[in-house]
């Protein structure tokens, strides 16, 4: 235990010291646009059918890695015929906006090719279009579930990115494992592809971030 704690504190102190020495934070900003599709088979995917996701994000180099923020939109429709809402004739659907911040650490595999593991966390804003109601258990009338919910979500990801020569454009592919902590978690595995455009960070953004 003693050795473990000593090692941990040393690592934290050394990495902190190293990061103080890095002066080029906020130098480059990358904007990402991509699409994703669900590839994980589990209880959630058996009951809900996701549309392809649209992802918009931004990354900026920050000390030992990249700081990132973004949003991913997905539309889900019910796979299970027993699911019905307040209006039985209407389809049961919900939309998900995952708004996140995160951090990734890129490794250069070869010229122009980088591999970056990372972590994202944020809120998953859910909007139900045909909310569920239950028959009353008592005498106070029917109970309608809230059409809007938000829940904490974390996501582990790996990104493979290839820069197209000297141009500011790059192609990337990401696998992410996302878990929204509802009572029964919503677990999603996504494979995404997209393009990113990198440029020097404008002064006003740099000033804001510092």
Partner 1 sequence: MIRFLLSLTLLLCFCQAKVTAQVWTNSQDSLDTTVLTNPNDLLRTIPEWDAATTDGFTYLVNSGRYGYYGPQPSVYLDGIPIDFSYFNWQNLNMLPASMDHINHVSYSADSRIHNQAVAPAGFLDLHTQPLDPGFNAYGSFTLGNQIEDPGPWSYDTTRVTPNIDRRGPHYFSRFAYSDTNWYAQTQFSLRQHQPTNLNNHHRIGSYSYVDGTWHPVKNIIANGLAEAGYSSSGWDFKTRILYGNNEEYVFFQPFGREIPSLTKYKQLALQGGYQIGNWKFQSRYLGHQKKLDYRVNNKDYDFDWDQLTHSFSLSGSYQRSNTQLQAGTIIERIRTHALEMDNRQTIATFYSEMTSNIAPQHALNAKASVDIATFETAPVLSLGSTHQLTNAWKLSSQLIYEELLYHRQQNSTYWLQRGYDLFDQLSISYDMPLSTEKNKSTSFEVSNIFTLSPSVSLNLSGRYIYHSALNIPWQVVSHDQQQFTGEYTNPQDFYFTSEQGNRFIFRLSASQYIGSLFNHNINASFKHSRSQSRRYRNYWKQVPKATFDYNFKIKPAEDLSFSATAHYQSATTWLEYQNLDGETYRSLQPQYPIKYGTFHIDTPSFFNIDITAKKWFWDRRFVTSFSVRNLLNTEVRYHTLGLDKALQFIIKTSLSF
Residues that bind partner 1 (CB under 8 A): 1-2, 5-6, 9, 12-13, 15-17, 19-20, 25, 47-48, 63, 76, 78, 80, 82-85, 92, 94, 101, 121, 123, 126, 128, 131-132, 134, 136-138, 140-141, 143, 145-146, 149-152, 180-184, 186, 207-210
Our CB check for partner 1 shows the closer of 137 and 166 to be 137
Q: What are phi and psi of 108, to 5 degrees?
A: -90, 120
Q: Which is nearer to partner 1, 4 or 165 (CB)?
A: 4
Rounded Cα gap, residues 169 and 17, in angstroms: 33
Q: How far is the CB of 197 from partner 1 (least distance, A)?
A: 23
- Tokens at 71, concatenated: 């949003």
Q: Which is nearer to partner 1, 107 or 134 (CB)?
A: 134
CB count within 10 Å of CB 76 equals 22
Which CB atom, from 19 or from 108, has the smaller least distance to partner 1?
Answer: 19
Least distance in angstroms from the C-beta of 97 to partner 1: 14
Token readout for 127 is 């909007």
> For the CA atoms of the chain, what is the radius of gyration?
21
Comparison of 141 and 165: residue with beta carbon closer to partner 1: 141
- Residue 146 to residues 27, 49, 80, 167, Cα–Cα distance (Å): 44, 21, 20, 48
The CB-of-150 to partner 1 minimum distance in angstroms stands at 6
182 CB contacts (<8 Å, ≥6 apart)?
151
CB of 165 to partner 1, least distance (A): 33
At its nearest, how many Å lie between partner 1 and the CB of residue 186? 6
90-to-40, 44, 115, 204 alpha-carbon distances in Å: 28, 21, 44, 48
Report, in Å, the least distance between residue 108 CB and partner 1: 22
When the beta carbons of 148 and 164 are compared against partner 1, the nearer one is 148
**Residue 40's Cα: distance from chain center in Å?**
16
Distance CA 56, CA 54 (A): 7
């Amino acid at each position: 235990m003693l050795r473990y704690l000593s090692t941990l504190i040393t690592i934290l102190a050394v990495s902190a010291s190293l990061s103080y020495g890095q002066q080029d934070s906020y130098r480059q900003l990358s904007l990402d646009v991509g699409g994703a599709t669900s590839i994980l088979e589990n209880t959630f995917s058996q009951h809900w059918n996701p549309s392809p996701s649209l992802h918009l994000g931004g990354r900026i180099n920050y000390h030992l890695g990249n700081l990132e923020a973004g949003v991913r939109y997905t539309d889900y429709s019910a796979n299970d015929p027993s699911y019905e809402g307040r209006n039985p004739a209407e389809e049961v659907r919900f939309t998900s906006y995952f708004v996140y911040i995160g951090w990734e650490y890129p490794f250069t595999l070869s010229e122009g090719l980088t591999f970056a593991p990372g972590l994202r966390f944020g809120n998953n804003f859910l909007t139900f279009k045909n909310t569920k109601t239950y028959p009353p258990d008592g005498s106070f009338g029917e109970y309608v579930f809230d059409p809007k919910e938000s829940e904490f979500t974390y996501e582990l990801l790996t990104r493979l990115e290839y820069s197209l020569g000297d141009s500011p454009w790059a192609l990337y592919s990401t696998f992410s494992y996302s878990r929204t902590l509802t009572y029964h978690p919503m677990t999603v595995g996504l494979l995404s592809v997209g393009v990113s455009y990198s440029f020097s960070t404008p002064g006003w953004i740099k000033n804001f971030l510092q």
